[in-house]
Structure formats: C-alpha cells, structure tokens
C-alpha cells in the first residue's frame, strides 16, 4: 500500500470515528432541548395570519346500533326491522378567510362551507342528507379571534334562541376551543365545552348535546404540541318532541396536534363510544310489560300502555383538520 493510500485510510477511519460521536452529541442536545421545553411548558395561542385563507375539513362516520335486550320481547324484532341499525357519514369542508386585525386587537374572520355531503344508511337503504348540501349556499359565518389569541367568538346561529343548531358552527367551534391562559407542562390539561351531534334513533333526525373536551399535553416537539383528547358527554336527560326524551353517556378518545408556528390545531382525531337511551310512549297495539290487554282485543291507549325505553350504542371516527389553503379563495 502506498503512502497516499495509508493517509486516505487514516482519514477515513477518523471520519467514521467522528460520526458516532457527532450523532451522540446531537441526540444529547436534542434530548436536552426537549427536556427543557417539557419543563418550561408551552403557551398556546391562535396565530392565523390576517389576509390569509385556511382550509378546514371535518368528517364523521358513526354507527348507531340498537340493543334489542332493552325492548319488550314482543317489540324487539319489529323495532330492529323498522328502525334498524343506522350508519351516518358526513364530510364538511369550509374556508376561513382571515381579515385585517381591528383597532381593538381582535382579528375578524369568516367561515363559509364550500363542500358538504352526507349519507344515512339503514339496511339496504341509502339516503343523502339533503340539508347538508344546502349548507354550501348559506351566507358566511362571522367570527373573531380575541386580541390575546386565546378565544374565538362565533356569531350564534339564526335559530339558536329556539334551540336550533348549525353543523358548520359546531365544526368550527370543535377546531377552535378556548385556550388556557398560562403555559402547559407535559401531563397538564385544559378543558373546553363544545357541541356534539348524534344521529337520531332510527334515522329520525339528529340529537345535539354539549360535551366536555379535555386536552392533556402528551409531548412537546419542535414546532408542535401533541395532546391526548377525551370527550365526555353529559349524563343528563333532554326532552324531545312527541313525548320522547333521551339520555346519553360515554364520549370519545383520541389525539390532537397544535402547530406552534402556525398557531392552530392542524388535526383532531377521535373514536366515539357513546350510549344513548331513548324513552318514548308505548306505540298503539303493544302492551307494556305486565299490562293487561285492552278489552275486545283493541289496541291499548298509547300513554296508558306505559313508556318504552330503547337503548343504543354509537361508535365511529370523528376527525377535523385545518391548514393554510393551497390556492387563494375565489371571489
């Protein structure tokens, strides 16, 4: 081997000896930075830029399954056939148009639905959710970020006073919960009260409830804060029309990612696991358990026959994402 080859060999060995040391030093430094960030905590603030457009998309795929064991034996088969299990799939895409910051420091923006599709499946029957497509033509929702970047104020739905709700506002609120005032350390949590829409039993409309959303900081990474998310439904009874009422329990679990540079939740993913129990008057022709049949075989009166309790389970994924729009908003 020539002297030149010996020299090249020594240089190569030196380089390969330095690489592991450099990698070790880099890993140690990264670990120290991560440890320092976790100890110091992270301060969450919305930072969506004025004169910028953002895309937001939400998707829901929920299965509502009836529990026949909650029904009288005489009704179980009929209820399963007439109501049956229901699957509901919904996708809503909207655009946030962030405007110039106001004199009070708040930042106004509008949110408009640009795509909305939904299907409800029961057995071999599939029906589109017609009211979803109508969302595309509605006026934009007006809202604003607070001056400190912690909260979002959304104008109420036009029918909010009468108990109505709007899916677009619900989805917007889910992606923009109120943020904590101080810094969060790994393991600490903050809560928000946000709406949840559940498919109605038998595909008959929707039920709207307010749930607790608990965000627990799982990790702080360069540019990102990772959260475990738990959604807890209220254990309460609500009154519906035609003498019906329902109770809900359970909720959902999942994760969320907050982009510390952009100042927004880029994704929230949940898996729902909810229980619904609907109480309704016993339909004509069915006696309440233990009740005597009506004279001459006539159908018993609906109300005097008692109350029917129908249990069901709701499961499936829920997701909301947000990012800067790839193309400018159309005029």
To the nearest whole percent, how much of the chain has pLDDT over 90?
47
Residue 276: predicted pLDDT? 81
Confidence band, pLDDT 50/70/90 cuts, at residue 160 = low
Q: CA 297, 302, 304, 308 torsion: positive or negative?
A: positive
- What is the CATH number assigned to the segment(s) 41-324? 2.30.230
Q: CA 120, 93, 196, 135 torsion: positive or negative?
A: negative
Structure tokens at 174: 């889910």
Q: What is the pTM of this model?
A: 0.76
Confidence band, pLDDT 50/70/90 cuts, at residue 54 = very high
| 25-37 mean pLDDT | 41
| 46-50 mean pLDDT | 97
Residue 199: predicted pLDDT? 63
Confidence band, pLDDT 50/70/90 cuts, at residue 195 = confident
Residue 141: predicted pLDDT? 96
Listed range (8-12, 25-29, 248-252, 289-293) with the worst mean pLDDT:
25-29
Return the higher-pLDDT residue of 93 and 76: 93
Q: 86-121 b/e with 16+ CB inside 10 Å = b?
A: bbbbbbbbbbbbbeeeeeeebbbbbbbbeebebebb
Residue 73: predicted pLDDT? 64
Confidence band, pLDDT 50/70/90 cuts, at residue 79 = low
Listed range (74-88, 92-106, 283-297) with the worst mean pLDDT:
283-297
Return the higher-pLDDT residue of 78 and 190: 190
Residue 11: predicted pLDDT? 46
Residue 14: predicted pLDDT? 52
How high does pLDDT run on average in the chain?
79
Residue 76: predicted pLDDT? 59
Partners of 142 in beta bridges:
110
Residue 289 has pLDDT above 90, yes or no: no
Over residues 67-78, the pLDDT tens digits come to: 777 666 666 565
Over residues 196-237, the pLDDT tens digits come to: 877 655 444 566 778 899 999 999 999 999 999 999 988 766
Q: Cβ(249)–Cβ(275) under 8 Å?
A: yes
Ordered alpha helix ranges (H), 203-327: none
Q: Domain spans of the chain?
A: 1-40, 41-324
């Amino acid at each position: 081997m020539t002297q030149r080859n010996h020299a090249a060999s020594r240089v190569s060995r030196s380089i390969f000896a330095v690489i592991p040391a450099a990698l070790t030093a880099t890993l140690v430094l990264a670990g120290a930075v991560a440890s320092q960030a976790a100890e110091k905590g992270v301060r969450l603030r919305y930072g969506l830029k004025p004169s910028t457009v953002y895309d937001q998309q939400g998707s829901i795929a929920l299965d509502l399954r009836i529990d026949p064991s909650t029904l009288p034996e005489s009704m179980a088969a009929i209820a399963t056939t007439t109501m049956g299990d229901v699957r509901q799939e919904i996708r809503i895409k909207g655009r946030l148009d962030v405007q110039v910051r106001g004199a009070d420091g708040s930042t106004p923006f509008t949110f408009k639905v640009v795509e909305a599709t939904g299907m409800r499946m029961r057995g071999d029957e599939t029906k589109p959710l017609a009211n979803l497509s109508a969302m595309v033509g509605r006026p934009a929702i007006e809202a604003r970020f607070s001056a400190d970047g912690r909260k979002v104020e959304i104008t109420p739905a036009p029918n909010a006073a009468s108990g109505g709700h709007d899916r677009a506002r619900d989805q917007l609120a889910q992606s923009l919960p109120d943020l904590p005032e101080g810094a969060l350390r790994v393991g600490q949590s903050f809560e928000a009260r946000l709406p949840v829409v559940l498919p109605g039993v038998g595909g008959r409309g929707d039920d709207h409830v307010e749930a607790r959303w608990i965000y627990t900081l799982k990790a702080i990474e360069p540019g990102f804060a990772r959260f475990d998310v738990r959604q807890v439904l209220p254990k309460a009874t609500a009154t519906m029309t035609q003498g019906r009422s329902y109770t809900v329990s359970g909720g959902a679990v999942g994760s969320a990612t907050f982009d510390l540079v952009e100042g927004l939740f880029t994704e929230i993913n949940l898996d729902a696991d909810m229980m619904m129990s609907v109480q309704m008057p016993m339909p004509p022709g069915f006696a309440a358990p233990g009740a005597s049949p009506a004279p001459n075989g006539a159908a018993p009166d609906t109300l005097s026959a008692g109350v029917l309790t129908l249990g069901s389970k709701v499961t499936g994924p829920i997701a909301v994402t947000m990012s800067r729009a790839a193309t400018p908003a159309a005029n």
